[in-house]
């Protein structure tokens, strides 16, 4: 498949994250590395914007533990839709939260990994409400593992009851182990239309989206093992990398 245009790009800024979940797909931990320099990210994203890319989403590692995140947000928001996916924990530091308010992305998604963990759930909801007061759109990434379907379903009902909707929850199926079926994800969402990974029922490379890893490799999604190195910090190099890939699935 030859691609001529992507319009959304997700970039993992590092694989540094002090939460260090044992299921993290890019093995982020407190000994993780930062390979991206702030100016390289900005150079790449601005060139993408000139070439028609509409949105950049930043993940990690934990993006709010990446030193240059606010410089990146500030440089890019005049040009692109910028979203950040975070575990939310660094935002409890007053200094980080006040930098966020001065350098606001268009949207923040906070992830709930464990629907049974009352503290994680209540603090994430509280933080999302706090963020939304500053004119930043909010969303929840609800991580779904096959051993916690009932708990995830119960939490989803609670989220609907307090004003979240299927429009601001993304139901993210766990990968590699404890993988829920598409039917289980739909059961958790319990709505006809809901947001999840585009490949919930069928693995295929996206035609509009690509992912760039913490170690500067380009792929059709974050999980596919087929990736190609990014040679230069520009849009053309992304397209050359994508078009050199023979897509492989992450499924066993």
| Contacts with ligand SF4, residue ranges (CB under 6 A) | 17, 19-21, 24, 28, 60-62, 87, 197, 199, 203, 221, 223-224, 249-251
> What's the closest the beta carbon of residue 12 comes to ligand SF4, in angstroms?
8
Contact (CB, 8 A) for 53 and 97: no
Contact (CB, 8 A) for 109 and 170: yes
- Which of 74/197 has CB closer to ligand SF4? 197
- Which of 13/46 has CB closer to ligand SF4? 13
> What's the closest the beta carbon of residue 209 comes to ligand SF4, in angstroms?
10
- Cα separation of 116 and 151, whole Å? 6
In sequence order, the 6+-apart residues with CB closer than 8 A to the CB of 9 are: 45, 48, 53, 55, 56, 57, 209, 210, 211, 212, 238
Contact (CB, 8 A) for 226 and 178: no
Q: How far apart are the first and last CA of the chain?
A: 22
- Which of 19/232 has CB closer to ligand SF4? 19
- Cα separation of 19 and 29, whole Å? 7
- Which of 133/246 has CB closer to ligand SF4? 246
> What's the closest the beta carbon of residue 173 comes to ligand SF4, in angstroms?
9
Q: Give residue 29's Cα distance to chain centre.
A: 17
Nearest to 10 by CA among 206, 251, 243: 206
> What's the closest the beta carbon of residue 78 comes to ligand SF4, in angstroms?
28
- Which of 103/197 has CB closer to ligand SF4? 197
> What's the closest the beta carbon of residue 61 comes to ligand SF4, in angstroms?
6
């Amino acid at each position: 498949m030859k691609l001529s245009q992507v319009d959304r790009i997700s970039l993992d800024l590092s694989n540094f994250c002090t939460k260090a979940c044992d299921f993290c797909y890019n093995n982020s931990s407190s000994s993780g590395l930062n390979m991206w320099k702030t100016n390289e990210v900005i150079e790449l994203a601005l060139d993408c914007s000139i070439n028609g890319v509409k949105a950049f989403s930043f993940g990690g590692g934990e993006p709010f533990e990446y030193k240059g995140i606010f410089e990146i947000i500030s440089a890019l928001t005049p040009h692109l839709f910028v979203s950040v996916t975070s575990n939310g924990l660094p935002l409890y530091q007053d200094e980080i939260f006040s930098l966020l308010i001065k350098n606001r992305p268009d949207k923040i998604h906070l992830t709930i990994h464990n629907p049974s963990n009352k503290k994680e759930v209540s603090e994430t909801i509280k933080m999302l409400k706090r963020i939304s007061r500053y004119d930043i759109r909010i969303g929840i990434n609800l991580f779904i593992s096959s051993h916690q379907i009932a708990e995830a379903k119960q939490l989803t009902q609670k989220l609907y009851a307090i004003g979240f909707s299927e429009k601001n929850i993304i139901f993210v199926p766990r990968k590699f182990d404890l993988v829920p079926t598409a039917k289980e994800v739909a059961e958790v969402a319990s709505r006809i239309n809901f947001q999840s990974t585009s490949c919930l029922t069928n693995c295929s490379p996206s035609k509009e989206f690509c992912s760039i890893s913490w170690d500067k490799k380009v792929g059709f999604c974050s999980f596919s093992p087929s990736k190609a190195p990014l040679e230069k910090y520009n849009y053309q190099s992304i397209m050359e990398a994508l078009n050199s890939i023979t897509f492989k699935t992450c499924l066993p």
